[in-house]
Amino acid sequence: MRGVGNCWRFAISSSPMMRRPRKRAPVTLDQESVGRLSRIDAMQVQAMALAAQRHRQAECSRIDAALMRIDSGDYGWCVRCGEEIEAKRLDRAPATTMCLACAKEG
Ligand SMILES: [Zn+2]
């Protein structure tokens, strides 16, 4: 596993991003606001809140996947080409799955 086991596990699991989002009440529109602009504003706030929630869930999924790759010994190896992922890249984005070359290919 190239010495990435416990060190990375600690780094990833202690990251603030690992904190699970609390169960949130569904976002509701402010029904007491009057006027069209207030409703549009409330809808924009709702859309932004939902987008932020989706972003957090996606980040949690990426971190979960990284933890599974640590367990399986695949962490740090590109899922596309199988080459080693650059250490600098892992420093910046520990949950990344691809080397720089493959990530650039998209
Ligand atoms: Zn690659």
- For 77-106, write each residue's pLDDT tens digit: 999 999 999 999 999 999 999 999 999 998
Q: What are phi and psi of 60, to 5 degrees?
A: -60, -40
Measured in whole angstroms, the distance separating CA 100 from the mean position of its chain's CA atoms is: 18
- Span from the CA of 97 to the centroid of ligand 1 (angstroms): 9
Number of domains in the chain: 1
Q: Give CA angle at 54 (49, 56), nearest 5°.
A: 95
- Span from the CA of 20 to the centroid of ligand 1 (angstroms): 29
pLDDT mean over 17-25: 61
Measured in whole angstroms, the distance separating CA 15 from the mean position of its chain's CA atoms is: 11
- Domain membership of residue 98 (yes or no) is no
pLDDT mean over 52-64: 96
- Domain membership of residue 15 (yes or no) is yes
- Domain membership of residue 35 (yes or no) is yes
- Domain membership of residue 87 (yes or no) is no
Is pTM, for the whole model, over 0.85?
no
- Span from the CA of 6 to the centroid of ligand 1 (angstroms): 24
- Domain membership of residue 93 (yes or no) is no
Boundaries of domain holding 54? 5-76
Residue 35 neighbours by CB distance under 10 Å: 8
